[in-house]
Amino acid sequence: MEQDREKIKQTVRKCTDRLGFVTEEQVQSMVERLATMKDMKTVVDSLALNIEKFFGTEEQKADFEASMQDILELSGGAYSSVKEIMAQVQSNKAQNYTPRKYISRR
């Protein structure tokens, strides 16, 4: 798992360096959390979901695409394309979304 940890760390650094505002402490925290996940597919899903949240503007599109390509390389064959990763990210977001229930007072 140590070899996987190093690959995860390198990929997280590449992705977060493009953002510019992520601290070393945040990088270490993310690496520690990802390195304890059950398999590389789960790592890729989690990292892609986190990175997708940060790249929101049109100016960041190239950096986002480069980051997703790095994540695809990390997947080690678990995914065949960035499009496939993003489809999984969207599915995960949809499954975790819970609409608020408002209680009406009478």
What beta strand segments (E) does 1-106 contain? none
Question: pLDDT of 53-71, one tens digit each?
Answer: 888 778 888 999 999 999 9
- Which amino acid is it at 45? D
Q: What is the pLDDT of residue 1?
A: 56
Question: Would you give the end-to-end CA distance of the chain in angstroms?
Answer: 58
Question: pLDDT of 69-105, one tens digit each?
Answer: 999 999 988 999 999 999 998 888 888 754 444 444 4
Question: pLDDT of 9-41, one tens digit each?
Answer: 999 999 889 888 888 888 899 899 988 988 889
Residues 6+ apart with CB under 8 A from 61: 55
The pTM of the full predicted model, rounded to 2 decimals, is 0.77
DSSP state of 76: T
